[in-house]
Amino acid sequence: MLPSNLLLSTLALGACGSSPIVAWDAGDSYVCALDKRGRIRCDDIDLSGRDEIIDDVPDRGKWTELVVGARHACALDAEGYPTCWGLIGNEPIADRTPREKLFSIGGNSNTACGLKQSDGSILCWGYIGQYYADELPQGSFQWLETLEAKVCYQRTSGEIGCTAVSDYTFPNPPVGLYNPVEVDARGTNLCATDKDGRITCWGRDTYDVHLPPEGTGYHGLALGQKHGCALNADNEAVCWGNDTRYGTTKPPSGRFTSIVSGGFYSCGLRENGKVECWGCGDDDRFPPDHPKMLRDDEFCVWD
C-alpha cells in the first residue's frame, strides 16, 4: 500500500525521469494517477484529512483505466475486471463491486457503472445500481458516465443520451454525432466535441458551462462542478464557466498533454510530466500554507 502522505508532486513522475503518467482522473477533492509501472497514487487536493481513497489504493498491477468519483475510485485490470476502493455513501464500494469483465467505466457522483465486454450493456453498482437498475437503458454502448441521479452514455451509432432515475429530470442532448473519447460530464452538465473539435454542452446549467468557446480543434474535455476546460489546437488550456471566486477559468499558459477537472479546480499535465493545478479545492480550501504548493494570483503549482 502506498503511503497516505503523498503530495500531488509525486504524480508528476515524468519530471523526475521516472515512470510517466498514463492515465489520471479527478473527483470533487481527489486526484488519482496511474503510472507506466502500474502504480496508482491518489492525493487529497484540499488536505481535508479524508483518507477513504488514499489509504486503500490497490497494489501495483496491469491497470488500463482509472476513474475517480465523489469519495471512491475504480480501475480496470488487463482483463477488464474492476477494482474499486473508497466509499459509496458511508459504505465501502469494494463490497458492491461486481466480478464482471468491462471495457469502460464511469464513476462520478455516488455510483459506478461499466460497459460489459460480453454485449456492451450497462452495469451499475452503488446508488443507481442498488435502487434503479431496472430504469437503465437497454442496448449496446461505447461510452458512459454517471452524474448524480442519471447515467449518460453514447451508443455505438455515435448518438448521446442520458437517462435520469428517481423522477430526476435532465435535458435531452442535442441531436448529432460526437467523438466517443471526447465526452465529459460533471455535476449537472455534459459536454462533447464533434469530428471538427467543436464543443457542445448541455444540462441543468446555471453557471455558464453551456457557453463553451467557439471554433474548432478542441479536444481533451474536462468538466468541474461549475466550469469546463479543454485543450485547443495548440494544446493550450482554455476554460470557461463560473469564475467569481475560484480562478477556475484562468489556466496557466503553455502546452499540456491532458487535463482533468474536479469540483472547483483543474490540473494539467505538462509534456515534461509536471502537474500544474488552478482553481481551489473543495469549498475554497486550497490552503496557502500547503507544504509543496506555491500560491500564485491565479493558479496553484506543485513543484
pLDDT band at 199 (very low <50, low <70, confident <90, very high): very high
178-198 mean pLDDT? 77
**pLDDT tens-digit series, residues 156-178:** 887 888 887 766 666 677 777 67
Choose among 185, 274, 196: nearest CA to 224.
185
Is residue 47 in a domain?
Answer: yes
Give the number of other Cβ atoms within 10 Å of residue 233's Cβ: 11
**Does residue 187 form part of some domain?**
yes
Question: Residues of the chain with pLDDT > 70: what percent?
Answer: 76
In the structure, what pLDDT confidence band is assigned to residue 134 with cuts at 50, 70 and 90?
Answer: confident
What would the pLDDT profile of 245-283 be if each residue is shown by its tens digit? Answer: 667 888 999 999 999 988 788 889 998 888 888 887 544
pTM for this structure?
Answer: 0.82
What does the buried/exposed string (b/e) look like for 149-187 if buried means 16 or more CB atoms within 10 Å of the residue's CB? bbbbbbbeeeebebbbbeeeebeebeeeebbbebbbbbb
Residue 85 reports pLDDT greater than 80: yes
Residue 172 lies in a domain: yes
- Determine the Cα angle at 23 with ends 22 and 29, to 5°: 140
In a domain, 298, yes or no: no
- Give a yes or no: residue 1 inside a domain: no
Summarize the confidence of residues 37-57 as an average pLDDT.
Answer: 73
Q: Is residue 227 part of a domain?
A: no
- Please indicate, yes or no, if residue 124 is contained in any of the structural domains: yes
Which pLDDT does position 185 carry in this prediction? Answer: 65
- Classify residue 179: in a domain, yes or no: yes
- CA gap 52, 69 in Å, rounded: 12
Number of domains in the chain: 1
Q: Tell me the residue range of the domain where 118 lies.
A: 8-220
Which CATH number goes with the domain that contains 121?
2.130.10.30
Looking at residue 31, what is its pLDDT? Answer: 86
Question: Which amino acid, one-letter code, is at 173?
Answer: P
Q: How many CB atoms neighbour CB 298 within 10 A?
A: 11
